[in-house]
Structure 1
Amino acid sequence: MPIIPSKKAIVIGAGAAGLATAALLSCEGYSVTVVEKNEGIGGRAGDLYYKGFRWDTGPSWYLMPDAFEHFFALLGSAVEQEYTLEELQPAYRLFAENNPSQAAERIDVSSDPTALANYFESVEPGAGVKLYQHLASASTTYRIAVDRFLYTNFTSLRPFLHRDVLRRLHILIKLLTQSLHTMVNKRFQDHRLRQILSYPAVFLSSRPEEAPSIYHLMSHTDIVQGVRYPANGFAGVMEAIYRHALNRDARFLFNTDVLEITTHSMNRGLTQHEKLAQATGVLIKRNDGSKEHLQADIVVSCADLHHTETQLLPQHLRSYDADYFSRRNPGVGTVVVLAGVKGSLPQLKHHNLFFSKDWSTDFDAVFHADAHGVASESIYVSKPSHTDPHVAPPGHENLFILIPVSAQLDIGHGNAYGSAESTAVRTIADHAIESIAHKAGIPDLSSRIVVQKTIGPADFADRYHAWLGGSIGPAHTLRQSAFFRGRNVSQKVKNLYYAGATTVPGVGIPMCLISAENVIKRLRDDTSAGPLSEPLDPQQTSM
């Protein structure tokens, strides 16, 4: 029999977490309305079309394929029914700086552990065996994380008491208290090998010196599991989730801003855990200026946690106040360059990483508050036209260039969304293009750019209410990981929940999908560790 919705849910935001939450809540029998301030779906995982070019404007590394497979299985579907994946080999090309006055050394990093171990051994005798040991530890840690710590709300001690955890408890404690930088540098001496195993800290909006070494599990995702490219980029992944939500009758309101999470007061009980109010819906404002109150039984905010707490709730109902955020690390800001280039660029692969030899100064530029307007010299470049010819007109290449900067609003806007491009953003973009041209050996790169759009920290703040214009989410330091990252439910407002990159379990599209599932577990009072059984709703088949 079909499910008859009996409760109303409002989801704030149609990014990855919002779409996933809407689809899963619909499976649970809720009548779902998603309110999105922008013109379309995807949030940071959006796309931009201009003069025959199509760019993903956010995430571009398809990692943790098992998280996507599990999510679509919950919906009674499968990844292969939703979009095609192409495995990238090499996983990426590393441009390693040995002498700043010369072009960088090109290193093709394979997702084949054996091939990569051979390279490590050729650079540093004994490093091949050490890489195998590193990857074995990464794989074990990854499996424990998935089984015990990612798909949980930390409402029970049971995940910590499992024999897998207890047996490795002393190792896990060390992995939590030792930095990724320290772990990798103890094992390897060559700066290139260290960078290959340390750079995933940037995926976590952190730096190797501050990311706990438990995150060496990321090497399992890019080296062991491999790197893939979804057809139509991450916009295609977002469309697949959106279809499931629509086909389960979720309603979407675009170009609509949430002004307030509405509540009504509750009689305070005698215990300190009694909540002060109950969520009743949201007050929205449409593009035409009209306002409306939408009623709901539950509200799930997938907006930035800082925005939710400081802008959508009155002060006395905030679980996280200004003092809390003053002690938090907002993570990485970015300047993004979307470039269309005439002719081919054989010097570049699909994914390309440009690293300075001493990249500590690069991380200082990103994470030191006094480094205003200073950009990292370590840059990421994606060339999706290497794999997908449809993202650029014939005879052209498509480049997505990401330059890490500090999360500071006054770096300004880019021009991708109609704002005037700030001098700082333009300067950072021009310098990055010049640096890529030099290190990759493409001296005429800038003269071949026929289209260029930019995105700055202020754009992330305006479009996504991102705290301080951060592009990824709060950094995964020890104090901002696992149960230290914050709860996915309001401590003061009943029936108000959180999902997305700014809450547990963390940043990245896979984590956003998991955060949506954790909301379902919270609603079910499910204190188990590990993913839910598939499918979530046996009565529904793939749509």
Structure 2
Amino acid sequence: MSKTVSIIGSGFASLAAASYLAKDGYKVSVYEKNADLGGRARQLKKEGFTFDMGPSWYWMPDVFERFFADFNKAPSDYYKLEKLKPAYKVFFEAGKSITIEDTLEKIYLAFEEEEKGSSKKLKKFIDQAQSNYNIAIKDLVYRPGVSPIELITPATIKKIGQFFGTIAGDVRKEFKNKNLVQILEFPVLFLGAKPSDTPSFYSFMNYADFGLGTWHPQGGMNKVIQAMISLAKSLGVEFFTNASVEKINVSKGKAESISVEGRKIPSDIILAGADYHHSETLLEPKYRQYSEKYWAKKTFAPSSLLFYVGFSKKIDNIEHHNLFFDVDFEAHAQDIYDSPKWPNEPLFYANFTSVTDNTTAPENCENGFFLIPLAPGLEDTEELREEYFEKIITRFEKLTNQEVRKYVIFKESFCVNDFIKDYNSYKGNAYGMANTLLQTAFLRPKLMSSKVKGLFFTGQLTVPGPGVPPALISGKLVSGLIHKEFTI
């Protein structure tokens, strides 16, 4: 008889694990507290507009291909993928902007135009980043973080110095132009920490950016979620929405069931794909691995203030993805990591999928997704949200040289309080736990509980870390551990 697995949450990691476990012969059920599946990757649909509510960058296409290939499938079996040309645009002060194109050759030219001699330095930097990518993504990140020995390979021994240097140190040693420095430091922000706290080895993110490019699944990132749901269902996985898990029940040191809306659901194995901190609060205190002091000392990735805006006209001078680095990068980073507070002048990001995908907005309209990174745990009020929308939309109009306010049809926001309410997110963080040196691999919260047999965890607070591709990998890693412990 098949062993039963109950999975809490339906984000990328949970969905990946569900398919791997079902493929291995387990009877899998997924319980999602919200009305829609997908975790942070849900969609908002309103008045003909479609918005991805969370993840909006499709990087590392090889990780997606590897996931689907494990089931003899390909992304193209489920969704249409387009490489963005250009990848994104970066706005700086005084109306300056740099466009990052879709090939390394074009990017080298853009750097050379900005700083003479920088293209040769960039090529050397990217060659190193590609080497790191090949080691990291093709090997290291597919290890379950059980032991430090996992990190010791002939390839990593040669790279040992890169675990003690920093991205900021490496970039600033070679590049003097402030704008180029910010572009090169930007990709590691996906890892949730400052470039000055991120090990040099993580330059593989720069290869993911420049070398592999930025992609878009037609219809939005949620199309990937729908593909994973379809795959899981074809393997026999059952899904339950509006099913909030209230407790993980333990008997004689073994996870035996979950309580959902007052009903006990027996299970041989329980996999928590919800926020790790929250998942442990579903246990009696004696069964929790990590104390409140533990979580309080950890470096968490930022939260975000998000706006979903429908515009009644096409917007000029923008690309699909746009970064606004026209204010002090260091000051905003300090307001997130060093002395948490609402930033005086925030950097922000805006995407308009309707620039390249006409399925996401009505004709002659634009869908705007705006994101301001914030420290987790901040006070969150409607007044603050409105104040910061005014700040960024004023700068947006100035930097893109147009008026857009009067074309706003509607505006919805999402911030700290919503991350807590909708995702039980620790302090309302948006991306999980940062990948600093002391929060990498085996130093992150474990995939397998050390106190409760049959209880496992997956997602952005455990290995490999924050981001969509790492979430897919996390689901694979935990399913492998489960299969090792409970071979059918």
Work out whether the TM-score is over 0.5.
Answer: yes
Say whether 1:403 aligns with 2:372. yes
Choose the corresponding residue for 1:22, options 9, 18, 23: 18
**Contact 1:87/1:228, CA 8 A, preserved across alignment:** yes
CA distance in 2, matches of 1:109, 1:51: 32
- CA apart distance, 1:161: 4.3
Match of 2:185 in 1: 198
- Residue of structure 1 in register with 2:437 after alignment: 478
Cα deviation for residue 121 of structure 1 reads 1.8
- Give, in angstroms, the shift of residue 438 of structure 1: 1.4
> Aligned equivalents of 2:149 and 2:433: distance in 1?
27
Partner residue in 2 for 1:58: 54
Deviation at 1:522, TM superposition (A): 1.0
- Looking at structure 2, the residues matched to 135 and 370 of structure 1 have their Cα atoms a distance apart, in angstroms, of 33
Work out which of the residue numbers 263, 270, 274 in structure 2 matches 1:292: 263
- Deviation of the 1:162 alpha carbon: 3.1
Corresponding residue for residue 434 of structure 1: 394
Work out which of the residue numbers 106, 124, 128 in structure 1 matches 2:115: 124
C-alpha distance in 1, partners of 2:171/2:75?
34
Distance (Å, rounded) in 1 between the aligned partners of 2:129 and 2:305: 31
> How far apart, in 2, do the equivalents of 1:357 and 1:253 lie?
45
Aligned AA (2:284): P
Match of 1:71 in 2: 67
Counterpart in the other structure of 2:355: 386
Q: Is the 8 A contact 2:146 2:446 kept in 1?
A: no
> Which secondary structure state, in structure 2, belongs to the residue aligned with residue 454 of structure 1?
strand
Give distance in 1, aligned partners of 2:283 and 2:375.
28
Contact 1:409–1:461 (CA under 8 A) maintained in structure 2: no
For 2:269, the aligned partner's letter is I
Matches within 5 A, 1:226-241: 226-241=213-228
How far has the Cα of 1:478 moved from its partner? Answer: 1.3
Contact 1:330 1:468 in 2 (8 A): no
The amino acid across from 2:256 in the alignment is T
Cα separation, 2, equivalents of 1:493 and 1:435: 52
Give the whole-Å Cα distance in 2 for the aligned partners of 1:162 and 1:214.
14
Whole-angstrom CA distance in 2 between matches of 1:459 and 1:375: 22
Cα distance between partner residues in 1 of 2:368 and 2:106: 28
* Distance change >3 Å, CA 157–CA 435, structure 1 → 2: closer
CA contact (8 A) 1:385 1:392 kept: yes
State whether residues 328 and 345 of structure 2, in contact with CA within 8 Å, keep that contact through their aligned partners in structure 1.
no
Q: Check whether the contact 1:93–1:349 (CA below 8 A) recurs between aligned residues.
A: yes
In structure 2, distance between residues paired with 1:479 and 1:427: 36
Name the CA distance, whole Å, in 2 between partners of 1:348 and 1:220: 24
Q: Is the 8 A contact 2:416 2:427 kept in 1?
A: yes
TM-superposition CA deviations, 1:266-288 (whole Å, max 9, x none): xxxxxxxxxxx111121111xxx
Counterpart CA distance in 1 for 2:275 and 2:309 is 28
Question: CA offsets per residue over residues 306-346 of structure 1, 9 Å max, x none?
Answer: 1112x211111111111211210121011001011121112
Q: Distance in 1 between matches of 2:440 and 2:149?
A: 18
Give the Cα–Cα distance (whole angstroms) in 2 for the partners of residues 376 and 364 of structure 1: 12
Name 2:143's counterpart in structure 1: 152
8 A Cα contact 1:363 1:376, kept in partner: no
Taking the aligned partners of 2:21 and 2:29, their CA distance within structure 1 comes to 10
- Report the counterpart of residue 377 of structure 1 in structure 2: 346
Deviation at 1:410, TM superposition (A): 2.2
* Residue in structure 1 matched with residue 257 of structure 2 by the alignment: 281
Q: Secondary structure at 2:195's aligned position in 1?
A: coil
| Cα-Cα RMSD | 1.5
Code of the aligned partner of 1:135 = I
- Shift of residue 352 of structure 1? 0.4
2:273 matched residue in structure 1: 302
Number of residue pairs the alignment of both structures matches: 485
Shift, 1:122, TM fit: 2.2
* Matching of residue 355 in structure 1 with residue 325 in structure 2: yes
By how many angstroms is 1:123 displaced? 2.1
Q: 1:131-163 CA distances to partner (integer Å, 9 max, x unpaired)?
A: 001100001001101233100113356644432
Distance in 1 (alpha carbons) for counterparts of 2:90 and 2:456: 41
Distance 1:484 1:376 in 2: 34
Cα 1:58–1:523 change in 2 (3 A) is same
Which residue of structure 1 aligns with residue 384 of structure 2?
A: 424
Question: Could you tell me how far apart the structure 1 residues matched to 2:166 and 2:148 are?
Answer: 25
Residue in structure 1 matched with residue 462 of structure 2 by the alignment: 503
> Are 2:165 and 2:199, in contact at CA under 8 Å, matched by a contact in 1?
yes
- Name the SS for the 2:196 alignment partner: coil
* TM-superposed deviation, 1:502: 1.2
2:205 — aligned with what?
218
**Alignment partner, residue 417 of structure 1:** none
Indicate the residue corresponding to 1:512 in structure 2: 471
DSSP-derived class of the 1:404 partner: strand
Partner of 2:87: 91
Matching of residue 108 in structure 1 with residue 77 in structure 2:
no
Offset at residue 194 of structure 1 (A): 0.5
Deviation string, structure 1 residues 98-136 (Cα, Å, up to 9, x no partner): x4xxxx212111231111112212222221111001100
Unaligned runs of 5+ in 1: 266-276, 286-290, 413-421, 527-543
What SS class does the counterpart of residue 193 from structure 2 fall into? coil
Q: Which one is further off, 20-29 or 204-213?
A: 204-213
What's 1:272 paired with? Answer: none
2:304 matches 1:334: yes
Output the amino acid matched with 1:343: K
Counterpart CA distance in 2 for 1:513 and 1:234 is: 14
**8 Å contact kept, 2:145–2:444:** no
Q: TM-score, normalised by structure 2?
A: 0.96
Cα 1:279–1:512 shift into 2, 3 Å: same
Distance 1:432 1:156 in 2: 45
CA deviations on 1:180-207 (whole Å, 9 max, x unpaired) are: 1111101100011101110112211222
Question: Per the alignment, in what secondary structure is the counterpart of residue 232 of structure 2?
Answer: helix
Contact map agreement 2:145 2:443 (CA 8 A) in 1: no
| Structure 2 runs not aligned, ≥5 long | none
Distance 2:301 2:127 in 1: 29
The alpha-carbon deviation at position 164 of structure 1 amounts to 2.2
Cα distance in 2 for partners of 1:158, 1:178 equals: 21
